[in-house]
Amino acid sequence: MIILAWKNIWRNPTRSLIMLTAIVIGVISGSLFTAFYNGMIYQRINDAISNETSNIQIHTPQYLENKEITDTIPHISQIIQHLDTLKNLKAYSLRFKTMAMISSANNNTGVVFIGVDPEKERATTNIWKHIVQGEYFPPDRKNGMLIGEKLAEKLKNKIRSKVVVTLQDTRGNVVSAAFRIVGIFNTGNTGFDERVVYTTQSDVLKLFPDTMPLIHEIAIALYDDQYTTTYVSQLQKVLPFVDIKSWKELYPEVGLMADYTQYLQLIFMTIIFLALSFGIINTMLMAVMERTRELGMLMAIGMKRSKIFLMITYETVLLMGCGTIVGLGFSYLLVELLSISGINLASFARGLNQMGFSAIVYPVLTLREYMQTVELVIIAGIISSLIPARRALKLMPSEALRKQ
Amino acid sequence: MHSIIELKNLTKIYREDGNEVIAVDRVNLQIQQGEFTAIVGPSGSGKTTLLNLLGGIDKPTQGQIIVDGVDITQLSFSQLVDFRLHNIGFVFQSYNLIPVLTAKENVEFVMFLQNRPRPERESRSRELLTAIGLADRMNSRPSKLSGGQQQRVAVARALAPRPKFVLADEPTANLDSRSAENLLEMMEMLNRTENITFIFSTHDPRVMRKARRIITLLDGRIDSDTIAG
């Protein structure tokens, strides 16, 4: 029956080829759009995880709301002891993190002032990879600071320029310290680059000589993001005295985009296949009307209505299926090629960077999305075949045989 | 010989635009196993309608059609489809082969619908196509065959499932004299050697000459029923 349906498709090759071309173009457009959007979102998520939040963060329950310097994480050694037992943990970084004012000779602005252990931070985030001028905490420099390119522009500072950081200590007193810019980073997210500065924990300690190291944040990097949710709930049980959040909770807008991508392809492809279905219905109705006498003959010689229905359905699904397979084949090649070279949106770079997106997009299409397209085709094919098949089933053999 | 078909008071009335057209009018008839019968008459006399009723592809307005003891007028649409599949062979005026299938595949098609195993289908179609002289055209599509050859394939298709009888609606109407003669000889040979019952509707005097029983219809009624010498 499938062979007969396949042969029937090619009775009118021109008509079938036109329909196939429309399906191929539809599938390629849908796939490329999805791949492009995925590329943008995945890149944003990867950047958010690898440069900014890591997979999981630990704070005191009040910290994220108040961001007070006094909201330091208690029982650090107990937390570290537990983190060291986690299997899929790549690294973690203990951070001093508070709001501060940074001033240069030319300008001043508010920043998030972060003190890190350079080696642990290097293992946890990719800030070191984004250094575009200078170095990542050279060992021989005291009071070194990393700032974003955007902030450097704003402060009109260069490498080795001096900046002064002013902040409150744990008693509410204002303290200031001078730092020298040792590295300038560019993560591609201008918002982040404009508001975050890094120095070392040892230099922070000099600001607060009478206290223990102040840790406000523990950033945890995992080998695979799929363990994030499990680890968050696991850690919440073991460490109930701290607030444990995933990157999705820390950056809800990025989390929302990640969740949205799952539905976007479905919505977009549904719209494409809905439009194509009308073309398919028209093509198949024409095919049924042209074969009225033959369908009458088939019923006369004993072909059941269910088999005629099946034959028309196979024809429709095969036509859509072929177009989809060819379309997905081309989409795969295009996505693979573009995922190497990337799509350069340099002319929109400024706007994209401000929103945290990179100007070069590397399209991504997952196996699940390829499969989702195939599932949609089968559903759309079956639905599209209903009207032509119903038309065929309404034929009475004696009347159909009389048709010229 | 026993009656393979019995028509009792068979009537078919078409209603179109408020008018009634009596296509078949109270026909009573018996067809015996192994007959080679022609139903003749002028255009509009009801030949094709009678054949359609005999074949169960049209429903009578009243009367009974008893085929081998089964009143097919009482069967549902799907039961009739199944009945036709296993009991009746059809040959149409314009061949009606499936254009995308080869001669052999066309012959096999009804057996495929009967879910017969592939080896049986293949050997039966080969045997029939050889018998009708088309062994060398088995893999040709209908478009590559002449009208006469296509009609022979149609006969082979009708015979493939070993039906109780074959209904042929004007089988020679679209054929030249030679092709028509060949086709008739072939059907006559199958009738004699395999005792297959053939019922034709025809205008063609060549068919009438070959037929051993001629039923003449006039205005939907049997005008005469003669057995040839």
From A196, A219, A241, the end of a domain falls on: A241
Average pLDDT over residues A329-347: 87
Average pLDDT over residues A55-76: 89
**Is residue A55 in a domain?**
no
Q: How many residues does chain A have?
A: 404
The whole-angstrom distance between B58's CA and the closest CA on chain A is: 6
- Which of A7, A297, A305 is the closest to B96 by Cβ? A297
Report whether pLDDT(B89) > 80.
yes
User: Does the distance separating the beta carbons of B157 and A302 come in below 8 Å?
Assistant: no
Same domain, A166 and A295: no
pLDDT tens figures, A181-198: 999 999 888 888 999 999
**Is residue A279 in a domain?**
yes
The whole-angstrom distance between B56's CA and the closest CA on chain A is: 8
What is the pLDDT, as a whole number, of residue A37? 86
Closest chain B CA to residue A291: B98
Same domain, A213 and A86: yes
User: Does the distance separating the beta carbons of A398 and B57 come in below 8 Å?
Assistant: yes
What is the pLDDT, as a whole number, of residue A100? 93
What is the pLDDT, as a whole number, of residue B1? 58
For the beta carbon of residue A332, count every other beta carbon within 10 angstroms: 14
Report whether pLDDT(A355) > 80.
no
User: Does the distance separating the beta carbons of A302 and B113 come in below 8 Å?
Assistant: yes
Report whether pLDDT(A367) > 70.
yes
What is the pLDDT, as a whole number, of residue B83? 92
User: Does the distance separating the beta carbons of B85 and A302 come in below 8 Å?
Assistant: yes
Same domain, A237 and A199: yes
Q: Beta strand A144-148 with A174-185: parallel, antiparallel or unpaired?
A: parallel
User: Does the distance separating the beta carbons of A307 and B113 come in below 8 Å?
Assistant: yes
**Is residue A54 in a domain?**
no
Same domain, A99 and A8: no
Structural domain containing residue A230: 61-241
Distances (CA, A) of B25 to A11, A361, B31: 42, 80, 18
For the beta carbon of residue B12, count every other beta carbon within 10 angstroms: 22
Alpha helices in A87-148 (DSSP H): 118-124
Which chain B positions have a beta carbon within 8 Å of A6's beta carbon? none
From A241, A267, A296, the end of a domain falls on: A241
ipTM above 0.90, yes or no: no
pLDDT tens figures, B127-179: 888 888 888 999 999 999 988 889 889 988 988 888 889 999 888 888 788 87
- Which of A335-339, A390-394, B4-8, B108-112 is the least confident region? A390-394
- Which of B58, B84, B94 is the closest to A302 by Cβ? B84
Same domain, A159 and A275: no
- Which of B55, B77, B86 is the closest to A300 by Cβ? B55
Identify the bridge partners of residue A198 per DSSP, sorted by sequence position.
A114, A146
What is the pLDDT, as a whole number, of residue B177? 81
Give the relative orientation of helices B177-194 and B147-159 as an angle to the nearest 10 degrees: 20
pLDDT tens figures, B33-88: 989 999 999 888 889 899 999 999 889 999 999 998 899 999 998 899 999 999 99
Alpha helices in B37-102 (DSSP H): 47-54, 77-87
- Which of A294, A300, A302 is the closest to B98 by Cβ? A294
Instruction: Using CB atoms within 10 Å of the CB of residue A208, give its burial: 0 to 12 exposed, 13 to 18 middle, 19+ buried.
Output: middle
What is the pLDDT, as a whole number, of residue B173? 81
Residue among A215, A262, A207, A239 at smallest CA distance from A97? A215
Structural domain containing residue B32: 3-227
As a whole number of angstroms, the longest Cα–Cα distance in chain A is: 104
pLDDT confidence tier of residue B229, bands split at 50, 70 and 90: low
Task: State whether the Cα torsion A83-A84-A89-A95 is positive or negative.
Answer: positive
Same domain, A122 and A236: yes
- Which of B58, B92, B113 is the closest to A297 by Cβ? B92
pLDDT confidence tier of residue A225, bands split at 50, 70 and 90: confident
Same domain, A75 and A180: yes
Q: What pTM value is reported for the model?
A: 0.74
Report whether pLDDT(A160) > 80.
yes
CATH of the domain at B95: 3.40.50.300
Same domain, A220 and A265: no
pLDDT confidence tier of residue A2, bands split at 50, 70 and 90: confident
Cβ contacts of B91 within 8 Å, gap of 6 or more:
B151, B154, B155, B158, B166, B167, B168, B169, B171
User: Does the distance separating the beta carbons of A7 and B90 come in below 8 Å?
Assistant: no
Same domain, A186 and A220: yes
Question: Is residue A375 within 8 Å of residue A321, measured between CB atoms?
Answer: no
3-class secondary-structure state, position B78: helix
**Is residue A345 in a domain?**
yes
- Which of A10, A301, A401 is the closest to B84 by Cβ? A301
pLDDT confidence tier of residue A218, bands split at 50, 70 and 90: very high
Report whether pLDDT(A404) > 70.
no
pLDDT tens figures, A113-159: 999 999 999 999 999 999 999 999 998 888 899 999 999 999 898 88
**Is residue A53 in a domain?**
no
What is the tally of structural domains in chain B? 1
**Is residue A392 in a domain?**
yes
Q: Which long-range contacts (CB under 8 A, 24 or more apart) does A351-358 make?
A: A353/A188, A353/A189, A353/A190, A354/A190, A354/A191, A356/A44, A356/A47, A356/A48, A356/A188, A356/A189, A356/A191, A356/A192, A356/A254, A357/A40, A357/A43, A357/A44, A357/A188, A357/A189, A358/A40, A358/A43, A358/A44, A358/A47, A358/A188
Question: Is residue B120 within 8 Å of residue B111, measured between CB atoms?
Answer: yes
What are the residues of chain A with a beta carbon less than 8 Å away from any beta carbon of chain B?
A: 4, 7-8, 10-11, 293-294, 297-305, 307, 397-398, 401
Which chain A positions have a beta carbon within 8 Å of B78's beta carbon? 304-305
Same domain, A175 and A284: no
How far the first Cα of chain A sits from its last, in Å, is 26
Q: CA triplet A55, A59, A61: central angle to 5 degrees?
A: 125
A267, containing H or E segment: helix A252-290
* pLDDT, chain B, mean: 89
From A241, A264, A285, the end of a domain falls on: A241
What is the tally of structural domains in chain A? 2
What is the pLDDT, as a whole number, of residue B121? 93
Which chain A positions have a beta carbon within 8 Å of B114's beta carbon? 302
Same domain, A383 and A348: yes
Same domain, A128 and A163: yes
